[in-house]
Amino acid sequence: MEVVVGRIGKPHGLRGEVTVDVRTDEPESRFAPRTALRAQPPQDSASRLTSLTVSRSRWHQGVLLVTFEEVPDRDAAEAVRGTVLHATLSPADAPKDPDEFYDHQLIGLSAYDEAGTRLGEVTTVVHGSAQDLLGIRALDGRDTLVPFVAALVPEVDVEAGRVVIADRPGLVAPFPDEKTDA
């Protein structure tokens, strides 16, 4: 299984160093020297690199700067701009806390209410500064966001492929005071 760990930003300096928009909770291990990452260049990119190996990484004013073995200079750094970086997960990479999940574990789970009625499916996870949100596509096709907190999502069972959503009026049917055009 692969997860996205970052996206290459603009070059920094002349020697191939790039900024990385970090998308992992473990940047120190994901961007450690000699780590190989699968590279997914943007569609309009001239870069044909499919793998990048970290040469070194460092933090500078809150921004992760990474040098890759395959990117020797500023021109090469500009060519890989926008490349999405993927890491392969091993069983040892599984979250240690049973209440922590990777996005790919949640997306695709069926959503049920506390009575066992199917509500829809988890389609996305939105990471916010205050809390994460689960994007749920209701059975009627409407999309809604549910704060991913224990009070509103009391149960996540990845193995059974389900999450339980509590107290979300309007997820199953329009709000009682909503007017519908008929």
Indicate the class that CATH gives domain 103-164: mainly beta
Would you state the structure tokens that stand for residue 115, as one six-digit string? 């009575």
34 to each of 30, 59, 146, 178, how far by Cα in Å? 10, 17, 39, 57
Lowest mean pLDDT among 60-64, 66-70, 101-105, 159-163: 101-105
Lowest mean pLDDT among 1-15, 29-43, 92-106: 92-106
Mean pLDDT of 125-141: 85
Domain layout of the chain by residue ranges: 2-93, 103-164
- Residue 77 — φ and ψ, nearest 5°? -65, -40
Asked if 164 contacts 180 with a C-beta cutoff of 8 angstroms, the reply is no
Indicate the class that CATH gives domain 2-93: mainly beta
pTM: predicted TM-score of the whole model, two decimal places: 0.60
Place of tokens 């073995």: 69
The 10 Å Cβ neighbour count of residue 161 is 11
pLDDT above 90: percentage of residues in the chain: 55
How does the average pLDDT of the chain come out, rounded?
Answer: 86
Q: How far apart are CA 98 and CA 55, in angstroms?
A: 33
Side chain identity at residue 137, one-letter code: R
**What is the four-CA torsion angle of 88, 85, 41, 71, rounded to 10 degrees?**
-110
Q: Is 85 exposed, middle or buried (0-12, 13-18, 19+ CB in 10 A)?
A: buried
- Reported as type and span, the H/E element at residue 63 is strand 63-68
